[in-house]
Amino acid sequence: MRRICVFCGSNVGIRDIYRDSAVATGTLLARRGIGLVYGGGNVGLMGVIADAALAAGGEVIGVIPQALKDREVAHTGIRDLRVVDSMHTRKAMMADLADAFIAMPGGVGTFEELFEAITWTQLGLHRKPCGLLNVGGFYTPLVAFIDQAVTEGFIKPVHRKMIVVDDNPERLLNTLAEMDLPDVPKWIRKDET
């Protein structure tokens, strides 16, 4: 993997573990020679992970819509800041630049970006693994919800396995690097339920 897109909060959250994990993950990516692709902000966990990757000598590519840049949330310390016209263009460019996706703790925007990346993989629009960095159990309720969708016949078990969950960034990176993604149609036939 040359680059990983990390989705994460524009806030840092209330527990120090979130900030600490962003520092560890940014540093780890740089040390492994894996570029960071992210939303281009200087706020929240986004700013923390970018700063950590930069401090460790890593490649950092930020992608930010003009409207957010105008609000002065763009990271001015990265050399490769790509300013785009919309959130849709931002997500498409981030996906094009990355070989895999990781979601760290965040809010609605992080969830939306994560689920779009998973959906694109599930539909075969790209073949890029997706992972959840389950810092302090943050994603445990979401994983249970996804598993409920499998139980209820809305997600195939093979597609559920495409979502890697780990609380350790190093293990998560290792698993994403070794993943063999299924090439299975998304739609569930009546005889499969």
pLDDT tens track of the chain, all 193 residues? 999 999 999 999 999 999 999 999 999 999 999 999 999 999 999 999 999 999 999 999 999 999 999 887 899 999 999 999 999 999 999 999 999 999 999 999 999 999 999 999 888 888 899 999 999 999 999 999 999 999 999 998 988 999 999 999 999 999 999 988 777 666 556 666 5
Per the structure, how many domains does the chain have?
Answer: 1
154 belongs to a structural domain: no
158 belongs to a structural domain: no
Tokens of 116: 């779009």
pLDDT for the residue numbered 123: 85
pLDDT for the residue numbered 180: 84
Find the domain containing 8 and state its range: 3-138+163-185
pLDDT for the residue numbered 190: 62
Q: What CATH number is given to the structural domain containing 119?
A: 3.40.50.450
β partners of residue 164: 131
150 belongs to a structural domain: no
pLDDT for the residue numbered 192: 60
β partners of residue 41: 74
Among 39, 91, 97, 95, smallest CA distance to 69 is for: 39
111 belongs to a structural domain: yes
76 belongs to a structural domain: yes
121 belongs to a structural domain: yes
